[in-house]
Structures are given as structure tokens and as C-alpha cells.
Amino acid sequence: MNSLEAGPPPPRVSDAEREHALELLREGVAQGRVSHDTFLRRMEVVLGARRPDELRAVLEDLPRRAPAPEPVPNDPALYERLADRWGDPRGDFAMLHWLAVARAELVPPARRSGAVLVDLGCGGGLLAPHLRHHGYRHVGVDLSPRSLAVAREHGVRVVRADVTAVPLPDGVADVVVAGEILEHVPDLPRAVAEACRLLRPDGLLVVDTLADTVLARWVAVHLGERIPRVAPRGVHDPALFVNRERLGRECARHGVRLRIRGLRPVVRDLPAWLTGRRDTVRMRPVRDTSILYQGIGRRTAPAARAPAPRGER
């Protein structure tokens, strides 16, 4: 071979590579990482570049994408943003679907015609399909308008209100359900007082919530919020997790003796659900109440007066 014979031509910039480089520059401007002047100067270089290494030189010292902000713990706006996902059993609220089934198992059929069930923190009405034939008028209370709109599609009569100030009369409910809501309420005594106030004599209170333990914080937040589709990031504030003894005392103050038991997923269901071989994960009652627990009790005494809101004491 002639030693003076030319080698292969140097690689040239393709239209796709050029367009990708321009898109990165535009993204930098949109995110505030690249000034308008810098964008114009580098755009000229990108458009005139002939070799891939010229493109790399333009892009390699761009300011990097800012890290995603940490989610706000217990952010109420999260339910508005994700309201269109309530109905997806494999979506952001998947575990709430599993818990709704376990919660419904604690609710007996209505004892009388016209019986009322008040569902505090009803979200998208996930409990309703499991109680459709129990004979209750199902009233759902929540702060998220978009979530309430989804609940209404399940036949729930909706009330937009805070669970610590429910605009319903005393003794209206045969059953009050507070499922996965108490660990989101800054004022636990008022939430419990309202739940008990709504109960008729001999009415039934059903709750499930997260325990105020190191193990629950690790499982629910550090693990649960990082497993895809189990729980949205930022949905919990561990500081609000509910001490079991305190919850029992607050219920007793209002005439409800609460019996509690632990609850956990059936472990063998989880891999099958994650890989799409199961549509749901069963929840199993257990003795251990250190992570997730249920409580049930009937109102046997007149409810005590609700504590005054903070700032009025």
C-alpha cells in the first residue's frame, strides 16, 4: 500500500447529533442554567461544527442539571397532582388499594335501613367498591377537590372538609372509617375527637395507620417511598406517625375502647406484583403492631368535648 495514501475521512457531525446538541442548549436556557448570550454563542459553534469532538467541547462544560428538589413531607397538594391515578391498582396509590380491601373486612353489613358510613380522608373513594353491598350511605370527607370528584364516581356522597372540623352533625354515623389519614394530621386529638363525635351510640370506629417507631419510619419512608408504585415520594411525614398507646387513650377519652392488631403485606405476593404476575397484594393481620396497624372499637359512652383548636386554649 502506498504510504502516502489517504486514510479514512474523519467522522462528521450528523444532523441528529447537531439537533441533540441544540436541544441540550435549549434545555439549559429553560432551566436557567445557560444564559441567553451563552446560548447564542454556543449555538453558532454547534451549527458550524464539522466534527463530533467540536460538539463535545461546546457541551462538556455546560452547568449540569440542578438536582430535583426534595419532596415536601406530607404535602396535601400531592393528592391534587396525582388525582388521575387513584383508579390505577398498579399506580402511585397501589398500596392504598391493598389497604382498602383489608379495611373493608372490618366493616360489618349495616344493621339498619339508612345507615351512614363516614369515610374520613376518603381520597378517591377506594373503599367504596368493597362496601357497595353493605347497605350504607357512604359519605366521604377529604380536602382534595379532584380526589373527591373521583370518589363521587364510585357513588360516594362527598364533603370537602378537614377531618378535624367535619361539617356533619353529632351522632350521624353508624360507622366512621379513618384509613391512612391519622398519620397525616398534625392535631391527632382533634381528629380522634371528630371521628368519635360523629358516631352514634354503639357506632363502630375503624382505623388504620402507621406506628410511631423507628422501624415504621424506615419501612414506610426510606424503603416504601423508593419502591416504584408503592407510595409517592413525600407522601409521609414521619413526625406525624401515630403512637399506639396515645391513640388508644384519645379514643378512650371519647368513649371508644380501641382494639388494635398489626397488618402487613403477604411477602410472597410482592415479587409477583412487581413483575406483573399479580394485580394486587394481600394484606395479612399479624400480632406485631410496630409498623402498620388497624384499630376497631364501638362507642360505649358519650363522646367527650373536642379539645379547643390550638391558639384558643
Q: pLDDT digits over 67-81, tens only?
A: 556 677 778 888 998
Nearest to 259 by CA among 248, 271, 272: 248
Give me 1's grid cell.
500500500
pLDDT at 125 over 70: yes
Three-state DSSP at 178 gives strand
Confidence of residue 297 (pLDDT cuts 50, 70, 90): very high
Q: Which amino acid is at 57?
A: A
Residue 165 vs residue 309, higher pLDDT = 165
**Number of helices and strands in the chain (H, E):** 10, 8
| pLDDT on residue 223 | 82
pLDDT at 26 over 90: no
**How open is the CA angle 226-229-230, to the nearest 5 degrees?**
65
* Mean pLDDT (whole number) for 245-274: 94
| pLDDT on residue 85 | 92
Task: Tell me phi and psi for residue 28, to 5 degrees.
Answer: -60, -40
Residue 289 vs residue 29, higher pLDDT = 289
Nearest to 74 by CA among 206, 182, 1: 182
pLDDT at 310 over 60: no
* Mean pLDDT (whole number) for 189-193: 98
| pLDDT on residue 311 | 45
- pLDDT tens track for 94-110: 999 999 999 999 999 99
* Mean pLDDT (whole number) for 215-243: 85
| pLDDT on residue 282 | 96
Say if strands 137-142 and 116-120 run parallel, antiparallel, or are unpaired: parallel
Contact 304, 249 (CB under 8 A): no
Dihedral sign for Cα 211, 100, 227, 238, please: negative
Residue 163 vs residue 308, higher pLDDT = 163
Confidence of residue 52 (pLDDT cuts 50, 70, 90): confident
Residue 45 vs residue 6, higher pLDDT = 45
Residue 40 vs residue 251, higher pLDDT = 251
Confidence of residue 216 (pLDDT cuts 50, 70, 90): very high
- Whole-prediction pTM: 0.76
> Can you tell me the distance from the alpha carbon of 251 to that of 179, in angstroms, rounded to the nearest whole number?
15
* Mean pLDDT (whole number) for 124-132: 97
